[in-house]
Amino acid sequence: MDPASRNASRSTDPVSFDSWWQLQGEWVEEPNERRGGCSGVQRIIQHDQLLYAKKQTGHTYRSLLHPWGRPTVLRERDALLGARKAGVTVPEIVYCAAEHGTDGWRAMLVTKALEGFQPLDEWYLRQAREHDDAALHQQLLQQIGRCLAKLHNARWQHGCLYAKHIFVRTQTQGTTTCCEIALLDLEKSRRRPTRKQAALHDMLQLRRHSPWDQTDWQTLVGHYQQVMGRTFEILHAAARR
Where along the chain do its domains lie? Answer: 3-112, 118-239
d(CA 222, CA 21): 45
User: Over its length of 241 residues, how does the chain's per-residue pLDDT go in tens digits?
Assistant: 444 443 344 334 555 899 999 999 999 999 888 767 899 999 999 889 999 999 999 888 877 777 777 899 999 999 999 999 999 999 999 999 999 888 889 999 999 999 999 999 999 988 765 556 888 999 999 999 999 999 999 999 999 999 999 999 998 888 788 999 999 999 999 999 999 999 999 999 999 988 899 999 999 999 999 998 866 655 655 555 5
Q: Which pLDDT belongs to residue 15?
A: 55
d(CA 6, CA 11): 9
User: Residue 45 belongs to what H/E stretch?
Assistant: strand 37-46
Q: Which pLDDT belongs to residue 79?
A: 97
Q: Has domain 3-112 been given CATH number 3.40.50.280? A: no
Q: Which pLDDT belongs to residue 45?
A: 92
Q: Give 3-state DSSP helix, strand, coil % of the chain, rounded to 5.
A: 40, 30, 30
Q: Which pLDDT belongs to residue 3?
A: 40
Q: Which pLDDT belongs to residue 113?
A: 96
Taking the model in full, what pTM does it have? Answer: 0.86
CATH number of 118-239: 1.10.510
CA torsion angle for 186, 191, 192, 198 (degrees, to 10)?
30
